[in-house]
Amino acid sequence: MHVTAIIAAAGSGRRLGSAKPKQMLDIGGGSMLQHSLKAFLAHPRISEVIVVLPPGPAAIVVDGVDPSRLQAMRAVTGGERRQDSVANAFDQVAASSDVVLIHDAARPFVSAALIDRTIDAAMTHGAAIAAVQSRDTVKRVERQPEGTVIVDTIPREGVYLAQTPQGFRRAVLAAAVAVGRSGVDATDEAMLAERAGYLVHVVDGDPGNVKITTAEDLEAARQRMGTAGQTPGLSRVGTGYDLHRLVEGRPLVIGGVTIPSDRGALAHSDGDVACHAATDAILGAASLGDIGRHFPDSDPRWKDINSLVLLREAARMVREQGYEIGNIDVTVILERPKIKDVIEEMRSRMAGAMGIDPACVSLKGKTNEGVDAVGRGEAIAAHAIALLQRA
């Protein structure tokens, strides 16, 4: 059986009051989105995962799953409404898919057992959602001139609180999406399926499968992950290293500055070892892999690219994880030419790419005292260390 999971992560999360979409906020060990993706990528019955993201560039990094599973994931751009975002994702669902699950990225604690129950119910009944029965007495109220008053008490036995995942056989979801595209507004796909004439069955949800909506929810999630109270001042350190052979006919670029020289770094990009080492250090501090993972030399987009662009992109990626660059220290190892006269310009350019004050960038040049290829003037190398702080 082919099962597709759609992860809805295109919302802005305004109610949380964050400058970035709430699903991108770290709750400990990764963002809400990363935790949700990991749950589905690690599930043995999920064949493909389609994540719906806000417009604009984004890097999706999911640690702790079999790397081969990442090939089952792809991204699409969301729409104005949640139902538009899901419709965009449904357009990319494999034709062979039997069941499609829809899950909110803001529910990062979904369990494998709940995913199983939803898949089974969707396959059996055509449409199913996870939901929990209300534990509280439910009151229906109206706003009147004298204030809000109760007009009815609803038996709680008949009240269920909807969760995700919600699951559908492919044909059922196709009909629900068509209803949504006809102009009907809905809060979820179960409502659209109802409008399309289908009975939607309920499977037992999980009280722990909470949706993070408010700042209080976020704090509770961090408490659950054991990271509450650590967030404001949390620091992470990463190191970076880069080495390139020096050859004739190539420009020598260091820290975004082209330096007069008869030889330059042999590389797919411009060979800027200072930027490359700094990029690796920043990515490493946020556990986002390395420069080769995000900007492989097999990709023609990065051919001869200015490495300040790569550094800028790395800085953007770590900010999406909720970090700011505290400071960075780079040591360039080169026999000749000397770089002391252009170090300040290098610091300024690298700082500009990272969006930080030049005072937070240290760059220094060393020789290798004639030892090995660097010491013989055949290569150039750089080491870097970066400090990230929780934003």
**Predicted pLDDT of residue 118:** 97
**Predicted pLDDT of residue 18:** 65
For domain 3-225, the CATH superfamily is: Spore Coat Polysaccharide Biosynthesis Protein SpsA; Chain A (3.90.550.10)
**Predicted pLDDT of residue 321:** 79
Beta strand 99-104 pairing with 160-169: antiparallel
**Predicted pLDDT of residue 157:** 86
> What is the chain's alpha carbon radius of gyration, rounded to the nearest angstrom?
26
Report the alpha-carbon angle 54-55-59, nearest 5: 75
**Predicted pLDDT of residue 62:** 78
The CA distances from residue 194 to 88, 125, 173, 191, 246, in Å, are 20, 13, 11, 5, 67
Which part of the chain is CATH 3.90.550.10? Answer: 3-225
Question: Does domain 235-390 fall into CATH 3.30.1330.50?
Answer: yes
**Predicted pLDDT of residue 380:** 96
**Predicted pLDDT of residue 232:** 45
**Predicted pLDDT of residue 185:** 93
**374 contacts 334 by C-beta, under 8 angstroms:** yes
**Predicted pLDDT of residue 135:** 87
Which part of the chain is CATH 3.30.1330.50? Answer: 235-390
**pLDDT, averaged across the chain:** 90
pLDDT tens, position by position, 157-187: 889 999 999 999 999 999 999 999 998 999 9
**What are the pLDDT tens digits along the chain (391 aa)?**
999 999 999 887 666 666 678 888 888 878 899 999 999 999 999 999 999 998 876 667 777 777 788 888 999 999 999 999 999 999 999 999 999 999 999 999 999 999 999 999 999 999 999 999 998 899 999 999 888 999 999 988 889 999 999 999 999 999 999 999 998 999 999 999 999 999 999 999 998 999 998 888 888 888 887 654 444 446 889 999 999 999 999 999 999 999 999 999 999 999 999 999 999 999 999 888 899 888 988 888 888 899 999 999 999 988 887 788 999 999 999 999 999 999 999 999 999 999 989 999 999 999 999 999 999 999 999 999 999 987 6
